[in-house]
């Protein structure tokens, strides 16, 4: 395990400080999982490696939480479940979904709108499950004059549309 831990640290995965922001929490989890994949982390090491990256409030939460687990050993699947329950509450997810559904370009550039669209769309996979759904939803939020020009082109591929 010492060599595996050195490999893990050498990739420099991000730390998590316990921010109550579901976007940041999910992004952190995704980065840690990418690190696991990159270095080929064994399943039974994942929780130990990931919890090493918890700092401040997140670490205090974990110290209390792991002691409440009956068997003392927390699998990666269980850790992910506990982590998401703590940092991505259902209430916050619903708020983000509503924000996504109301998202409009308004007075920002298409680039800024696309960045916000991409960020929020992670929380509504059921609404953007296909390229066509994603393109359609993106178009709905564009300024009316842009939407009018794009509508006649009938673009169904999200990347082409953007």
- Residue range 32-69, pLDDT digits in tens: 999 999 888 899 899 999 999 999 999 999 999 988 87
Neighbours of 33 (CB within 10 A): 16
**How far is it, in rounded angstroms, from Cα 85 to Cα 92?**
11
Residues 6+ apart with CB under 8 A from 21: 87
pLDDT at 6: 63
Q: What is the pLDDT of residue 1?
A: 52
Q: What is the pLDDT of residues 5-34, one digit of tens each?
A: 566 566 688 999 998 888 889 889 999 999
Measured in whole angstroms, the distance separating CA 151 from the mean position of its chain's CA atoms is 31
In degrees and rounded to multiples of 5, residue 106 shows phi and psi of 45, -115
Q: What was the pLDDT predicted at 84?
A: 92
| 54 backbone dihedrals φ, ψ, rounded to 5° | -80, 125
Q: How far apart are CA 128 and CA 140, in angstroms?
A: 13
Show the 3-state SS of 104-150. Answer: CCCCCCHHHHHHHHHHHHCCCCCCCCCHHHHHHHHHHCCCHHHHHHH
Whole-angstrom distance, CA of residue 57 vs CA of residue 20: 10
CB 11, CB 35: distance < 8 Å: yes
pTM (2 d.p.): 0.69
- List pLDDT tens digits, range 70-127: 776 899 999 999 999 999 888 888 888 999 999 999 999 999 999 999 989 988 888 8
């Amino acid at each position: 395990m010492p060599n595996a831990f050195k490999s893990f640290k050498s990739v420099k995965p991000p730390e998590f400080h316990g921010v109550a922001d579901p976007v940041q929490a999910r992004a952190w989890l995704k980065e840690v999982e990418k690190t696991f994949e990159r270095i080929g982390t064994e399943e039974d090491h994942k929780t130990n490696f990931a919890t090493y990256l918890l700092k401040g409030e997140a670490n205090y939460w974990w110290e209390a939480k792991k002691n409440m687990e009956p068997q003392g050993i927390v699998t990666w699947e269980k850790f992910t479940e506990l982590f998401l329950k703590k940092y991505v509450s259902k209430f916050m997810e619903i708020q983000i979904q509503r924000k996504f559904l109301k998202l409009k370009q308004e007075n920002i550039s298409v680039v800024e709108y696309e960045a916000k669209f991409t960020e929020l769309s992670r929380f509504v996979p059921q609404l953007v499950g296909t390229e066509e759904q994603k393109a359609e939803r993106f178009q709905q939020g564009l300024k009316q004059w842009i939407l009018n020009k794009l509508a006649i082109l009938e673009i169904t591929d999200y990347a082409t549309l953007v």
